[in-house]
Structure 1
């Protein structure tokens, strides 16, 4: 597998250049991708559906287009994966649920159409926490996704399969969905990059929802520059998405390599730096010093009323999810993961005035973030306050702070920007003593994705963190 590992270890941008120069063809690349998937996925469980015959047809079409001079750009011929919440025409889309085990959509999601227009090759549908309702990534009808850095550990969720596939070179990029951190959490746990764009920037049309008010779509890659390429490709106003915001398309690479001298970075220590694993705290403090060395101005800031966000987020999420699934809960009472089902039913006791109050609090918290971001250009936080823990574990003790459930620990630092809709970027920042990935999160103003990429790129280039996990523990093998 040496040749395969050498090829799939390239970044998306690098492999795109090799295709453009015809050093490697899309067909050859897909063949090597299949070899990598055959070797790794039986032990990781990142994919639910892979139609190799269709994928090879798409690769041959891309190769023909390129050979005839119809090169479409940096994604042409590149293997890209999709979280199995994103509809794909005539290809099974399960939502990680037995209920939809044989569901075949009649159309592609808007973002899939955009990827295909860019020449990308969709290589499969990736495992997800059932109906995306969980941040651990280990509650799918098709089994848990295992962390490439320690296969006894969870990947985080709910875009679990997407993160694991990108980290191990089974894809050069993937699209996930993010309702409370579901691209950033598994990105942090698996050592890759993920962007949750501004709410409404990227179409959610023909993507199975979890919460209409909190859902986002975001790219997951091994480098910041690769993430830029994916976000560039999937942007565009979609009249069929009622939550879409009409904003001009832009090249998110503009200013990417301009450095961060003079940029003001805020450190919201209250809340965001409390009850964090000591190794993560040490890592983030180290990155603060790195950013200073790169010329950034770093200062402590506070976000008023931030503690109020949790009740509002929880009320909106559980109410939206229950409204969506109420009929299915009655029609298919036995086809649910017990944890997901129990969580759905927590909405039964939510009163109408509580939902109204949650929406008001949402506006308050966004205003508080905006006030803080008037003082600085960007905020820096840990992405997740804990390190990846064992699959099926549900409690954690950090600094004598015993959580009732692992869910709150995992979601705590990412969920605020789902409530506010502000863009946030997770970038790898190192490893724990046990070799588990750690990530940091940059939060910016509405539609400041290009600026976040600029800051994230500067840190990435300074740290040079490896993001391709070549070898994994082959002890565990998926059985379905």
Structure 2
């Protein structure tokens, strides 16, 4: 069984309590305070909730699949009794006041919703660096980025502050922090999990998804939030995996290349057929993603921008203003190019079980670092990190990142060992099959390292 399944079974059997799991989360949160993962927490209210879950378990009635499990929520989803600030000081005019449906579904399944997690401001960024709330720091090396924008959720999942975190993913914001923090992150098919009660960034790209310690844990959370089954997914034969080799050529950090090739060799040894495929349109993904997200984000925040943009930091105000000034024809051109990229990916995936690639072209950079060295020279951290994930969010395809151990000395002799992630991308609405494949890959190369002290 998984960590969540084992804990839920132990609560039902009376050998573990929801209160004890919450107290463990609180102790871990105190230990990890310098990493800055939590935006808001009310331990007393959470304790009352946990005790209520324990009373329900003692009463012997039917229990939900997440009964007593402590789960944190990214600070752009509304949670009853908690503020939603979205990591910004700007007014959030377009945010509704109702609790997000996905949060209510988690509660109904028995989860103890105990905290809101820190994030990149308004989810417009992939580093976890935030002028207003402070940077969220990587648990393997606090000098490095935790990834974003669901940075606090990644740190909580890695350090045991609860058994799972819920994030959002517009261009990689579940998968990037999961990969950087050494945990599993699942971005389901577009529309699978409802987003009402959330602060949108880009309504045509936004997704919600879980970060946890295993594929099974993510699958359980996905089933609750989407109200879809995933247990019917199977791997009936050795899988066929497509690798976009030409696109990856020159864009990977040397240490990432070596790690990825080792993982591919292991999968081949287990019978997987790994085929290099051409993706001529994939290099254009960033160029069409950026106008779409900036234009839609500027519309979401239009009232705050019309009032002068006060409360947005210098990290996010310029891209918002760029989106505000974007010509309608340029936005439509980007939407049309997205359609072409989606068609290309759909055609490739029709003949494969999934696409396989590194979750990030580089291991976690230093906080404040703007560029990184890769095989082909120097590229921006944004392209090295977000560029590996954004095509699949933009096209709405399910994608999963798996922790595959630590890589030592990636930034020079003596630098800390850092987590590396493998990404699997599936067919539209193929969530169950992708999760099943993820379990197979996890069994061969999966390795969720624990940060020192946790």
Query: Under a length normalisation based on structure 2, what TM-score does the superposition of the two structures give?
Result: 0.94
> Distance between the aligned counterparts of 1:464 and 1:309, measured in 2?
28
* Structure-1 residue corresponding to 2:299: 323
Q: Distance in 2 between matches of 1:463 and 1:21?
A: 33
Partner of 2:85: 94
CA shift in 2, pair 1:105/1:364, >3 Å: closer
Contact residue 37 and residue 153 of structure 2 kept, 8 A: yes
Of residues 19, 22, 25 in structure 1, which corresponds to 2:17?
A: 25
Q: Which runs of 4+ in 1 moved over 6 A?
A: none
Q: CA offsets per residue over residues 95-138 of structure 1, 9 Å max, x none?
A: 0112359x997421010010000000011000000100101111
Match of residue 208 from structure 2: 217
Distance 1:72 1:293 in 2: 42
Give the direction of change, closer, same or farther, for the CA distance of 1:140–1:451 in structure 2 (3 Å limit): farther
How far did residue 273 of structure 1 move?
4.4
Aligned to 1:198: 189
1:54 pairs with 2:65:
no
User: Aligned-pair distance for 1:460?
Assistant: 1.5
Report what 1:7 is aligned to.
Answer: none
User: 5, 20, 37: which one pairs with 1:13?
Assistant: 5
Partner of 1:299: 275
Residue in structure 1 matching 2:198, options 192, 207, 215: 207
- Rounded to whole Å, the distance in 1 between the matches of 2:446 and 2:277 is 28
Q: Could you tell me whether the CA contact under 8 Å between 2:242 and 2:274 is conserved in 1?
A: yes
Q: Does 1:254 align with 2:232?
A: yes
Structure 1 unaligned regions, length at least 5: 1-9, 237-248, 473-480
Q: Is the contact made by 2:365 and 2:381 (CA closer than 8 Å) also made in structure 1?
A: no
State how many pairs are aligned.
446
Cα deviation code 1:20-41 (max 9, x no counterpart): 221111112212221221222x
Is the 8 Å Cα contact of residues 272 and 382 (structure 1) preserved in structure 2? Answer: no
> 1:228 Cα shift?
0.7
Instruction: Verify the 8 A CA contact 1:91 1:105 in the aligned structure 2.
Output: no
**What displacement does 1:13 show?**
2.4
Instruction: Measure the CA separation in 2 of the matches of 1:377 and 1:151.
Output: 37
Cα distance in 1 between the residues matched to 2:96 and 2:72:
17
Tell me the distance in 1 between the aligned counterparts of 2:249 and 2:55. Answer: 52
For 2:138, the equivalent position in structure 1 comes to: 147
Which moved further from structure 2: 10-19 or 108-117?
A: 10-19
Question: Is the deviation greater in 297-306 or in 327-336?
Answer: 327-336
1:343 aligns with 2:314: no
**CA RMSD of superposed structures (Å):** 2.0
The answer as to 2:419 corresponding to 1:427 is no
Is 1:357 matched up with 2:349?
Answer: no
Q: Tell me how far 1:470 sits from its aligned partner.
A: 4.7
Q: Please identify, of 264-273 and 61-70, the stretch whose mean Cα deviation from structure 2 is larger.
A: 264-273
Give SS of 2:316's match.
helix
* 1:260 to partner: Cα distance: 6.2
Q: Secondary structure at the match of 2:189?
A: coil
Task: For 1:31 and 1:105, locate their aligned partners in 2 and report how far apart those are by CA, in whole Å.
Answer: 32
Q: Does 1:415 align with 2:390?
A: yes
- Quote the Cα distance in structure 2 between the aligned partners of 1:399 and 1:127: 33
CA contact (8 A) 2:168 2:208 kept: yes
Are the equivalent residues in 2 in contact too, given 1:128–1:140 (CA < 8 A)?
Answer: no
Query: What's the secondary structure of 1:338's corresponding residue?
Result: coil
Aligned partner of 1:119 in structure 2 is 110
